Amino acid sequence: MTYEECTAYLFSQLPAYQRTGKAAYKADLSNITHLMNLLGNPHESFKTIHIAGTNGKGSTAHMLAAVLQTAGYKTGLYTSPHLVDFRERIKINGEMIPQKYVVDFVQNQKHEVEQISPSFFEWTVALCFDYFKQCKVDIAVIETGLGGRLDSTNIITPEISIITNIGLDHTQFLGNTIEAIAREKAGIIKENVPVVLGAMLHEAEKTCTKIAQEKNAPVFKASQSDFKILPRTDVGGPFTTQNLKTVLTALGVLTKKMPLLNKALIEKGLRNAAQITGLKGRMQVLKKKPLTIADVAHNAEGLSLSFSEVQENTKGTLHIVFGTVNDKDLERLIPVLPPGAHYYLCAPNIPRAQKVEILHKFFRKNDFRAVAFNSVKSAYIAANEAAKMNDTIYVGGSTFVVAEIL
């Protein structure tokens, strides 16, 4: 089995939420528990940091991993989804898991896995934890995939739990109120394990704090930390300032457990975080003339901040290559979409994509200047042909739109 055949098998035989949506969602931990038992519970062999949140968890995870690596710890990093290569999800010290390890693991475990019938995400978590054990990482930064309480990663007992931000997203799984979603995210909080709360709405913070108190988990709020001057970072994105405060609050707790951390190494790691970890797609500048930016923000809160930043730096016309997935509430996007922009609508090449015809009808109904295209690349080409040198092109709306351009 080649690496290409292996990844094709994973995507075709095992459902992936990011690609197919609700059909892949399994709301319990029985499969991953079974898989861990089969593998000898590899997740118990290394320290972890667990991160949940609606926005900012990926950037937060990469910044923490970069700092820990800079301080001399052998650091695992698990994130999702990937942009170009499946192996982006699983890294050690910034290096992706080798193709051979992925192929060997699939071939060796295929028979057992097929009997369990796990989701794509459960399979990937098992692969990740097995790899981190075999490579003897000192610590691993683990990002949840969806929610928290019933997420496949929630079998770990971390050194610290982090909840970055909570908004209305994935409501068909997590609930349709901020409080309900907060309860799901706060499901990663463990007995007596410190938890850091990023900037979030009062009702979300109240819910998370209550659950932490019930579990005797010390609570540290990034909003209450006194950071007079924030260190620089090469990680872009609409939540960078919020994420930095959350990361620094978490590192303040971790320094008591991880003696190699110090101020100079923390600043160095943050300054080069994207370079160290290979993070892409966070307000990433693809070219300067015309200024072309790709960003994976995909809900109202994230897109609002992304578009605000882009508009502040746009001197000419704003051209937006835009696509999304079919479980997003388009009505919630209306207030955040720049009204004067030119929209190039498209559907990423996944089953879960919102049909471009539906997107086009919605945009025209709400009086946006929008043209529909039959692919992400054709929409991107059209935007480049229309844009003048002092214009700005923004590519986003979905991780999968960005992935097809990178």
Same domain, 272 and 309: no
Same domain, 328 and 261: no
Side-chain-side CA neighbours of 55 within 13 Å: the count stands at 27
pLDDT at position 171 = 44
pLDDT band per the 50, 70, 90 thresholds, residue 142: very high
Contacts of 8 (CB under 8 A, 6+ apart): none
Mean pLDDT of 324-350: 92
Same domain, 259 and 160: yes
Q: Which of 252, 277, 302 is the last residue of a domain?
A: 277
Q: Which of 277, 309, 328 is the last residue of a domain?
A: 277
Provide the domain count of the chain.
2
CATH assignment of the domain containing 349 = 3.90.190.20
pLDDT band per the 50, 70, 90 thresholds, residue 263: very high
pTM of the model: 0.90
Cis status of the peptide bond prior to 231, with omega within 30 of 0: no
Q: What is the SS3 assignment for 111?
A: helix
Express the helix, strand and coil content of the chain in percent, nearest 5 each. Answer: 45, 15, 40
Same domain, 225 and 337: no
Contacts of 230 (CB under 8 A, 6+ apart): 241, 244, 245, 248
Contacts of 160 (CB under 8 A, 6+ apart): 49, 50, 193, 194, 195, 196, 250, 253, 254
CATH assignment of the domain containing 134 = 3.40.1190.10
Same domain, 162 and 257: yes
Residues composing the chain: 406
Instruction: Tell me the per-residue pLDDT of 86-137, one tens digit each, with 9 for 90 and over.
Output: 999 999 999 999 999 999 999 999 887 778 878 888 889 999 999 999 999 9
Same domain, 256 and 296: no
Contacts of 381 (CB under 8 A, 6+ apart): none
pLDDT higher than 70, residue 21: no
Residue 143 in contact with residue 153, Cβ under 8 Å?
A: yes
The rounded distance, in Å, linking the Cα atoms of 83 and 293 is: 15
Residue 186 in contact with residue 147, Cβ under 8 Å?
A: no
The boundaries of the domain holding residue 346 are 284-405
The rounded distance, in Å, linking the Cα atoms of 371 and 19 is: 25
Same domain, 173 and 298: no
pLDDT band per the 50, 70, 90 thresholds, residue 26: low
Same domain, 272 and 304: no
Same domain, 62 and 157: yes
Q: Which of 242, 277, 312 is the last residue of a domain?
A: 277
Same domain, 188 and 311: no
Q: What is the SS3 assignment for 290?
A: coil
Instruction: Tell me the per-residue pLDDT of 178-229, one tens digit each, with 9 for 90 and over.
Output: 888 899 999 999 999 999 999 888 899 999 999 999 999 999 999 888 888 8
The rounded distance, in Å, linking the Cα atoms of 117 and 256 is: 41
Instruction: Tell me the per-residue pLDDT of 282-291, one tens digit each, with 9 for 90 and over.
Output: 999 999 999 9
Same domain, 297 and 164: no
Tokens of 251: 């590192």
Same domain, 46 and 195: yes
The rounded distance, in Å, linking the Cα atoms of 295 and 155 is: 31
pLDDT band per the 50, 70, 90 thresholds, residue 372: very high
The whole-angstrom distance between residue 230's C-alpha and the CA centroid of its chain comes to 23
